[in-house]
Structure 1
Amino acid sequence: MNKTELVAAIAGDVELSKAEAARLLEALLENLTKALARGEAVQLIGFGNFTVASRPERTGRNPSTGEQMTIKASKSPKFAAGKALRDAVNAAA
């Protein structure tokens, strides 16, 4: 399912226009992104948790030259599925 299909499904489920459903989805994703950028966790009961994990600076190798290089510290978003989501996925399988 891509974003257009998701918007259409949301619009059909809650009886909104596709434009309203698209704005709703955009607002959800924007607020989720802003919260994660602030380092906050987002917990959606029954769906899952979005968190931010920190990766420390480390030494790596340039694959083309083999030369050692420093890989900068970074933050990465993580998602852990909730029990209800895991159960729904496993029931469908």
Structure 2
Amino acid sequence: MVTASIVEAVFHAIADAASSDAETSIPGFGKFKAKASLEREGRNPATGEKMTVAASRKRAFTPAKALNDVLNR
């Protein structure tokens, strides 16, 4: 299927851009980017014990205004 390969190529491009800290934008849909999350102190919800949550990189999505307008009709 041609459609499946196109969607797969888009997802690979987004993943590749995120791994190199680049931003990927799809006009009318939104932006994908990687952002850093610093090490922090947290709590185990089961025991209440304090623990350290390691620093990590996360993916963030910011929807385009056009997408927000459709969702908030």
- TM-score band by shorter chain is 0.7 to 0.9
* Long gaps (5+) in structure 1: 1-18
70-79 or 39-48: which moved more? 39-48
Report the Cα offset of residue 76 of structure 1.
1.2
Amino acid at match of 1:34: D
Partner of 1:47: 29
Q: Which moved more, 1:23-32 or 1:78-87?
A: 78-87
Q: CA deviation at 1:48?
A: 1.1
- Highest relative contact order (Cα 8 Å, sep 6+), 1 or 2? 2
3-state SS of 2:28 partner: coil
User: What percent of counterpart residues are identical?
Assistant: 37
Name the aligned partner's letter for residue 30 of structure 2: G
Select the structure of larger CA radius of gyration. Answer: 1
Equivalent residue letter for 2:60: K
> Which residue of structure 2 aligns with residue 71 of structure 1?
53
Matches within 5 A, 1:21-40: 21-40=3-22
Q: Report how many aligned residue pairs link the two structures.
A: 73
